[in-house]
Every structure is written in C-alpha cells, then in structure tokens.
Amino acid sequence: MKLRKVSAAAATALVLALTATACGGDNGDDNGSDTGSGSGGGDKIKIGIKYDQPGLGLKEPDGTFSGFDVDVATYVAKELGYDPKQIEFVETKSADRENALDRGDVKFIAATYSINDERAKLVDFAGPYLLAHQDLLIKADSDISKGTDLNGKKLCSVTGSTSAQNVKESIAPKAQLKEYGTYSECIAGLQSGAVDAVTTDDSILAGFASQANYKGQFKLAGLKLSNENYGIGVKKGDTATVDKINKALEKMVSDGAWETAVKENFGPAGYKNEPAPKIGDIVK
C-alpha cells in the first residue's frame, strides 16, 4: 500500500479543521445548552429541583433522585437532547430559585415552582405542567377543619414560599407564622407539636403524609385555598428554551408519560390530581 505525501498547506488545513471541531464541542456554558436536535449540545445540563419533597423532588440515600418533578425534568432534558447521564440535578430552595436562574447556576428549574405575576417579572415560565391546590397538613386528631381555625395557631411553611403569607393575609390574620428552611423541618415541627399545621401545595403535603415514618400521623385538611400552576422556570429572556420545553411538555402528555409519572409518584398517597393543564392555561 502506497502512502500519499501530504503537503504542508494541506496538513495545516487539517489541523485547523480539527481544532475548530474541538472548540465547537465546548460552548463554555456549564449549565448546559441544548440544540433541540437530540444531539445533546453539551457535556451536561444542570437542572434545579428540590431535594426534600417526597413524591416530587427527593434525593434518596443512595444519591439517586425520585419524584414527579424529577420525571418531568428528565423527560424535558431528553427532548432537549440530553441523556439521563448528562443531567446534574442541583438543589434549588424556594428562596433562591430566581437568583439561581439569573446567575446561570442551572438551565431550568422544575421544583414545585408556582407561576405568579411577581415571579414572572424575574423569570420566564414554560408550562404549566401540573395544577395543585394549597392545603393544610395537620395531625390525624387535629380539630382544624377550616382556614379560620388557624387564628392563634402556629402555622409553618418555608422561607420564600407564598403559601403561609396567603393564609395570614387572606384567611387567618392571627395565625402565628413560622418559617423554616425546608418542608422537612416543618413536618418535623408538626410531629413534635412545635407547630399546629403546615401549609403548602396538596401534592407536596400528600408526599410527606405517605412516607412510612409518618404514615397514619397526619391528614390533609382537604381545603382548596388556592390554585398553584406549576411551571418550569427559565432565565428571563430565554424564550427559545421556553418554546422547546413547552413542546416537550405537550409531547409528555400526548404520549402518556405524564399520566404514568402522576400515578407512580402520587398514587401511593391517594392524591387526586387535576387533569394535565394546557400550555399557557393559568388557573387563577
């Protein structure tokens, strides 16, 4: 076999081409940038979730993640071109969600992130992908049966959440508001008697109530105190990503993956979910 001689000019062109190809594979954006073509578009994608919400976003003892938000985020990432192995889930607490997107810490956030006018000034939203309702989690033998029963009671929610403020401003102005860093702390407070009720979305509360170590201790009050339209938060101005995520969510509903995720994550708690909302349909 004869080998061809390569001229210096040809060799230089080859080196330049290889260099350009290598540079093209690194976009310098470590939160992940997708092409929407199924090719990945980056080495990894960082997605904000909760770590302490059973049934929605939970970091398991073995380091894996479970929950409805995790399933939605994984499905969306796949449609953006990312394999599950390319996903890096980042804990994103309620009080830091807007900042995390603004700093570029994550590409998007799927973390029980209710769409409202104030948040929409700071971030863009895809979805909604779930309609939940604010409720109360109380002890199984509690006599709290309506919102006004919270007057004079200790009410817990997490810092940065709108749930407790909604109750205090509109339903029970004499409630004693306790704000903790996580819902896990609120639930522990409810168990110990440090607080009388925990308020947030019924989907979150149902997840906690169904845990083995809490089984039979708590109950949902069954109050629909508000409508919570869960959206996927994206950095303000990134409309291209919003459009791609919306298409992914529509596909998740149409191919049955959304319904499967609901049953697998909420079924054990007997949670009665609303039908899948239409993109852009915000229930007030």
Domains annotated on the chain, with CATH: 45-131+227-269 (3.40.190.10), 133-220 (3.40.190.10)
Per-residue pLDDT, 146? 93
* d(C-alpha 174, C-alpha 17), whole Å: 70
Ranges of residues in the chain with a pLDDT under 50 are 1-29, 33-39
Judge whether 262 and 272 are in contact, CB under 8 Å: no
The token duo for 58 is 């939970």
Burial of 139 (0-12, 13-18, 19+ CB in 10 A): middle
The chain-wide mean pLDDT, for the chain, equals 86
- 3-state class percentages of the chain: helix first, strand second, coil last, to nearest 5: 40, 25, 40
The token duo for 228 is 């919570």
| Per-position b or e across 256-268, b if 16+ CB within 10 A of its CB | ebbeebbeebbee
Per-residue pLDDT, 17? 40
Per-residue pLDDT, 138? 94
Handedness of CA 7, 9, 14, 15 (dihedral sign): positive
Q: What is the largest CA-CA distance in the chain?
A: 92
Judge whether 186 and 157 are in contact, CB under 8 Å: yes
Per-residue pLDDT, 16? 40
